[in-house]
């Protein structure tokens, strides 16, 4: 399926998914699979591939009751991915694993990750944000969801998300400015 392009929600056919059309499912996985893997990796999921599989399994079980557009489906899928990642992280915390401190630099999070999100200062500053702030920044600016889609994925109103994103960006900017002054 070389004709499938990333980030083209028009290729996702909600009716095809509901009907069990293999091509529709192939298009959904091709469009969102690696982006979800990168997102759940950055959240700290111990095995992103397992989370991606669990996400698509949950989507397959619940697609029949989904009502909405392809864009809304993206938010729906990312909400499920977020929930599955949180579940995996909680399970891992009950069964601790030894993880290398530099793992984030060893594995790229996504094919399309903006270069700024590879910068060590940006990564250190992102780590200073709350979990919700960091997730909103990643959904909005790394994955490229709209503010509305980010709000749906986070389970918040669009206005609350806009305000929270503004505060998160201001905090991130302040942290980065502090690093520049401290490093100069």
pTM: 0.56
Domain coordinates of the chain in residue numbers? 1-103, 114-184
Q: How confident is the model at residue 56 (pLDDT cuts 50, 70, 90)?
A: very high
Minimum mean pLDDT range among 14-28, 46-60, 163-177: 163-177
Q: Are 161 and 115 in contact (CB under 8 A)?
A: no
Cα separation of 164 and 162, whole Å?
Answer: 6
Cβ atoms of 125 and 153 within 8 Å: the answer is no
Q: Is 99 helix (H, G, I), strand (E, B) or coil?
A: coil
Q: With contact defined as beta carbons under 8 Å apart, do 12 and 59 qualify? A: no
pLDDT tens-digit map of 124-175: 888 888 988 988 888 888 888 888 888 888 888 888 888 898 888 888 888 8
Cα distances from 76 to residues 56, 105, 148, 160, 183, in angstroms, run 11, 29, 12, 18, 42
Q: Which of these CATH numbers, 1.20.120.1200, 3.40.50.800, 1.10.10.10, 1.25.40.10, describes 114-184?
A: 1.10.10.10
- pLDDT band for position 94 (50/70/90)? low
| Cα 27 to Cα 154: distance, rounded to the nearest angstrom | 24
Q: At 7, phi and psi to the nearest 5? A: 65, 20
Distance CA 64, CA 17 (A): 9
Measuring CA to CA, how many Å separate 119 from each of 127, 161, 179?
A: 12, 25, 12
Q: Which architecture characterizes domain 1-103 according to CATH?
A: Orthogonal Bundle (1.10)
Give the Cα separation of 165 and 2 in Å (integer): 35
Which residues neighbour 126 within 8 Å (Cβ) at sequence distance 6 or greater?
117, 134, 137, 172
């Amino acid at each position: 399926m070389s004709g499938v392009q990333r980030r083209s929600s028009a290729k996702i056919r909600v009716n095809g998914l509901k009907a069990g059309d293999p091509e529709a499912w192939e298009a959904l996985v091709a469009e969102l699979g690696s982006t979800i893997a990168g997102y759940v990796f950055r959240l700290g999921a111990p095995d992103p591939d397992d989370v991606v599989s669990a996400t698509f399994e949950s989507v397959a079980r619940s697609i029949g009751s989904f009502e909405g557009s392809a864009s809304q489906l993206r938010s729906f899928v990312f909400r499920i991915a977020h929930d599955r990642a949180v579940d995996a992280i909680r399970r891992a915390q009950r069964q601790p694993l030894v993880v290398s401190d530099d793992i984030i630099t060893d594995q790229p999070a996504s094919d399309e990750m903006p270069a700024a999100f590879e910068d060590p200062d940006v990564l250190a500053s992102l780590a200073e944000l709350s979990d919700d702030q960091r997730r909103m920044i990643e959904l909005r600016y790394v994955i490229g969801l709209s503010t509305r889609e980010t709000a749906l994925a986070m389970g918040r109103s669009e206005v609350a998300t806009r305000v929270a994103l503004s505060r998160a960006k201001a905090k991130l900017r302040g942290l980065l400015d502090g690093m520049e002054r401290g490093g100069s």
